[in-house]
Amino acid sequence: MELRHLRYFVAVAEELHFGRAAERLHMAQQPLSRQIRNLELELGVSLFHRTKRTVRLTEAGKAFWEEAKKTLTQAEKAIVVAQRVGRGEAGHLQIGFTGPVLNSILPTIIRQFQDRFPDIHLQLKRLSTDEQVNALRDEEIQIGLLHPPIDAPFLTQEVIYQEPLIAAIPDIHPLAKQAPKQISVKDLASEPFILFPRRVGPILYDAIISFCQHAGFSPMVIQEAFPQQTILGLVASGLGVSLIHASVERIQQQGVVTKSLIEATPQLQSAIVWPASTSHPAILKLLEVIREISFD
């Protein structure tokens, strides 16, 4: 039995006239009658009482009519859903993100995407950059928001945001009590530093060390910590200062004062990455939304 057989039957059941049903279906009456007889043979029951003047549903026909209508309705719904998913208007997306992305651009991206595509369900996972690359390789996520550079030829990446570094200082430190919002990195020359481990972001880590050396000192790193909340917690405890991405100011960690730097600092870049061979329509819609956003 095919869906077309159900459509033939429903048309006759609603019209109770083979001629009108055939006209409605844009087919000849004789083939329609033959299809209905074949359907009855397949089911092993009579669906219609036929006379020269009238066509009426049998009890079996009435029961079959109700179920046939449900089946056709569900089939039409399935077609619509499939078409919407195919156009990227519905479906599911698994997205990886890092802590800095969460503090900076992720809320704007999610809000605007959900406003435009409310029927695409987003599953968000907080993962480091390396973890996202592995998750993309294993198809555990479909798209990543991470920090380049990455060594992953199977991925396409596009930098969408960058932010400077700022100084995070314990609120009991003399520098924290000074009025100016800006300080020089040279003011931190004699301070103990808390930084993320180099393996987490070797390019940025080396850029921070070089930035300090260019200012005339090598930072005295007394402790490495990760993620950003841990770094801020250690700064709040008075163990040292840190150079960290500017979006941490949105966390408002108690016991920490942030200061922007006079010097041009290294930048933390954030990129969107996705499988180079993808044709996933929801990914393409997300890329479209992100490219329209102006991140200030």
State how far the alpha carbon of 111 is from the alpha carbons of 85, 114, 124, in Å. 20, 5, 13
**Using CA atoms, how far apart are residues 292 and 37, in angstroms rounded to an integer?**
58
**Using CA atoms, how far apart are residues 50 and 11, in angstroms rounded to an integer?**
15
**Using CA atoms, how far apart are residues 160 and 144, in angstroms rounded to an integer?**
12
pLDDT digits (tens, 9 = 90+) for 229-283: 999 999 999 999 999 999 999 888 899 999 999 999 999 999 999 999 887 888 9
Average pLDDT over residues 167-191: 92
The residue assigned the tokens 């479909």 is 142
**Secondary structure of the chain in HEC code, one letter for each residue:** CCHHHHHHHHHHHHHCCHHHHHHHCCCCHHHHHHHHHHHHHHHCCCCEEECCCCEEECHHHHHHHHHHHHHHHHHHHHHHHHHHHHCCCCEEEEEEECHHHHHCCHHHHHHHHHHHCCCEEEEEEECCHHHHHHHHHCCCCCEEEECCCCCCCCEEEEEEEEEEEEEEEECCCHHHHCCCCEECHHHHCCCEEEECCHHHCHHHHHHHHHHHHHCCCCCEEEEECCCHHHHHHHHHCCCCEEEEEHHHHHCCCCCEEEEEECCCCCEEEEEEEEECCCCCHHHHHHHHHHHHCCCC
Topology of domain 92-296, CATH: D-Maltodextrin-Binding Protein; domain 2 (3.40.190)
Q: Is 216 exposed, middle or buried (0-12, 13-18, 19+ CB in 10 A)?
A: exposed
The residue assigned the tokens 């009890």 is 59
Task: Judge contact between 246 and 163, C-beta under 8 A.
Answer: yes
Task: Judge contact between 151 and 136, C-beta under 8 A.
Answer: no
What are the residue ranges spanned by the domains of the chain?
3-86, 92-296
Question: What pLDDT does 177 receive?
Answer: 84
pLDDT digits (tens, 9 = 90+) for 54-76: 899 998 989 998 888 888 888 88
Joined tokens for residue 90: 């519905």
Torsion of CA 166, 291, 139, 277, to 10 degrees: -130
pTM: 0.72
pLDDT digits (tens, 9 = 90+) for 10-50: 899 998 888 899 999 999 999 999 999 998 898 899 999 88
Task: Out of 1.10.3720.10, 3.50.50.60, 1.10.10.10, 1.10.1030.10, select the CATH number for domain 3-86.
Answer: 1.10.10.10
Total residue length of the chain: 296
Joined tokens for residue 64: 């079959």
Question: What pLDDT does 85 receive?
Answer: 67
State how far the alpha carbon of 172 is from the alpha carbons of 21, 194, 222, 231, 256, in Å. 86, 16, 19, 17, 9
